[in-house]
Amino acid sequence: MRGLIRQWTGTWLVAAFGALLALGAAPRAHAAIDAYGLGAKYDATQANITFKVYSSRATRIEVWLYKTASGAQERVRYVMTKDAATNVWSKTASVATLRNTYDITGAVYYGYRAWGPNWTYSSSWTKGSGTGFVSDVDANGNRFNPNKLLLDPYAREVSQDPNTATCTDGTIYASGASYRNLDSGACAPKGIVLAADTTSTGSKPTRAFKDDVVYEVHVRGLTRDDTSLAAAVRGTYAGAAQKASALAALGVTAVEFLPVQETQNDQNDIDPNSDTGDNYWGYMTLNWFAPDRRYSSDKSAGGPTREFKAMVKAFHDAGIKVYVDVVYNHTGEGGAWGGTDGLTVYNVQSWRGLDNPTYYSLTSDLQYPWDNTGVGGNYNTRNATAQNLIVDSLAYWRDALGVDGFRFDLASVLGNTCQHGCYNFDKMDAGNALNRIVAELPPRPAGGGSGLDLIAEPWAIGGNSYQVGGFPSGWAEWNGAFRDAVRKAQNKLGLETVTTGTLATRFAGSSDLYGDDGRKPWHSVNFVVAHDGFTLNDLYAYNTKQNSQPWPYGPSDGGEDNNNSWDQGGVAANQRRAARTGFALEMLSAGVPMLTGGDEALRTTFGNNNPYNLDSSANYLFWTRTTTEANHETFSKRLIAFRKAHPALRPANFYSGVDNNGNVMEQLRWFKTDGSQADAAYFNDPNNHAIAWRIDGSEFGDTASAIYIAYNGWSGSVNFVLPWPGSGKSWYRVTDTATWNEGASTVAVPGAEAFIGGEWTSYGLEARSLLVLIAK
């Protein structure tokens, strides 16, 4: 299998597309991105608005227009016309008519109502009636319901959440006997027709991904508690823009925002009565085009778009890329409400009411969602039209909003090779969404330049969805194997077996995962913690999750039970040492490091490892520092700077090998504690817990001719005998993460490194610590 995968190159991908078409397979790509021009758009003169929506199964669709976002009835409704060749329904409305006849001035709000085989059209139908009803779902999976005003999947902005302070009844969106006749029009979120926006997003950084340091953070949490900012912009795009210089000073080169596409979050609890029904993280998307209004200080029509773009420009001006965490594996429409049959009661808000079997993966009888996500059912990532929506929205965020890359939640769902009644991940399949995204939205070249940085969370739930190392060409991945190896090595001594060979493979870029199929070490995004789980501080401060604590740090349901965490015996100094060591292992390994917002200053959620629902201080970054926090931030900043200063730590290819002249390169050597070179027996012996390595910086044009790193995973001190530093050179200490070396200068600034000695010098390294030396 691995041998075949190695051949999966870009050339093969193009050839495979051609072969599929030759065999009569349905084409998986349209002629151009957003070829149908879906959504609502003004013409060049802004005299007319054309509405376009896709549905292959509807028998009638009307577009309903509103003067206000919520709380009022429609001003006019238009019947749309279907193009049988494309299944695109359209209607053009005159702006003058809307203004003069229907008093729709300013922003235009709109939604769709659709009829189909399970709910046939009748001219006698009125809002809130059951006229024409046949069934909530028919044998073909249709779930049309004209009582539900449907949000345009291609809307560029959204008027409000489904549930608001004045529209608290969520049952108005539901099907089933008790709810199907409830009309949702007055309360339903509506699309907003936007004129073209010319706000600049600045010049996009073209830096190679291998040279990035990624900072994962929530846009609201970044500044919500920052009292140095004006209250009106805290927790907003505008507030985040003002932190660009601070993140640049930290050394961050790419900021990865948790989902900023529209979701239900305005009604999040902000009091001690918090429950688990809130959604702070934002992984229940209601629309894939619209920047979330809640994160904008300007909530007028077009305001969120302008403010998001201004934020992107601020980061671009600071040399920082902007990534967005996107969720294309499921939607915020959700799954079954339950009930006796689990069949009838579902939200009908957008995709489900327009073309359920096109947009969702269903069971083989087309009656229920197929679920690999655990949150209501899979988006139908195999369907060509559903893929169009993914590609079109990604292109919009890239081109119109200036985004530089994406992290894809539960991305294994994007590798599904079938639509209904099954799930199978196959990266070799040219028709899956993963390969289509790469084909139509080219990744950034290895050496940098224009293109997208595409990052997968390479797992989902069940089936063959755990695919760390299993994604196709063009994709980087969150390396869960790196995370697990580091956590176990640090926290599970004597309980979990992690050989020095396993650690060496992870520190050198995980060639076993990425090197066998043509990918490189920088396709490994190395992390020890992420938003989903313990913070860096808490990984080394708690043995088990603490999710039942009271507001503001709980309660939260769910959360991983197997965290590979340990409180270091309850000794605070040892906990800080472990955090420094874990962070250092991440920063000194080949691949692309990712830290989570606040971990540079030992942020804590007091052991809550699943605070997805806490729109509270538990999730907001703090901007004042105790001495301990300031010291760790200085440690983080200097170690990031050290990584950036030494290209030997950021290899474009896997270490060693043969150069273009046929010369064997010895870019990296592994050492035992006695100074001799590590061999297979040492690597494979589960009783070894210390490893050191020397990187030849001269191979990379590095200012340091050699870098030496030693990791002591034992519970006691170990003496490391140092290798040759190079002719006329000696070893100088950059950092030692031991408890004796705490303080603002734990990492030495360039030129202030402490002299250690030459070859055969013995260095005593404290338990669970890491040493970095350079040759000078």
Distances (CA, A) of 398 to 27, 119, 445: 24, 39, 16
Contact 659, 470 (CB under 8 A): no
Q: Is 457 a catalytic residue?
A: yes
Contact 256, 217 (CB under 8 A): yes
Nearest to 218 by CA among 249, 252, 259: 259
Mention every residue, 6+ apart, whose C-beta is less than 8 A from residue 15: none
Dihedral angle of Cα 560, 561, 566, 567, to the nearest 10 degrees: 90
Strand 48-54 to strand 88-94: parallel, antiparallel, or no bridges (unpaired)? Answer: antiparallel
Active-site residue, selected from the candidate residues 183, 392, 409, 429: 409
**Distance between CA 357 and CA 143 in Å, rounded?**
9
Dihedral angle of Cα 254, 603, 586, 250, to the nearest 10 degrees: 40
Q: Extract the tokens encoding 442.
A: 């080219």
Cross-sheet strand order for the sheet of 706-712: 668-671, 690-696, 706-712, 769-775, 731-736, 754-757
| Element of type H or E holding 720 | strand 718-721
**Distance between CA 427 and CA 442 in Å, rounded?**
17
| Element of type H or E holding 393 | helix 384-399
What's 389's DSSP letter?
Answer: H
**Distance between CA 359 and CA 357 in Å, rounded?**
6
Active-site residue, selected from the candidate residues 429, 457, 477, 736: 457
Q: Residue 540 half-sphere exposure, CB side, CA atoms within 13 Å?
A: 26
Sequence letter at residue 137: V
Nearest to 260 by CA among 459, 122, 146, 393: 393
Sequence letter at residue 240: A
**Distance between CA 362 and CA 507 in Å, rounded?**
41
Mention every residue, 6+ apart, whose C-beta is less than 8 A from residue 698: 705, 706
Helix, strand, coil percentages for the chain (3-state, nearest 5): 25, 20, 55
The beta strands (E) that lie in 8-146 are given as: 39-42, 48-54, 60-66, 76-79, 81-83, 88-94, 109-115
Catalytic residues: 409, 457
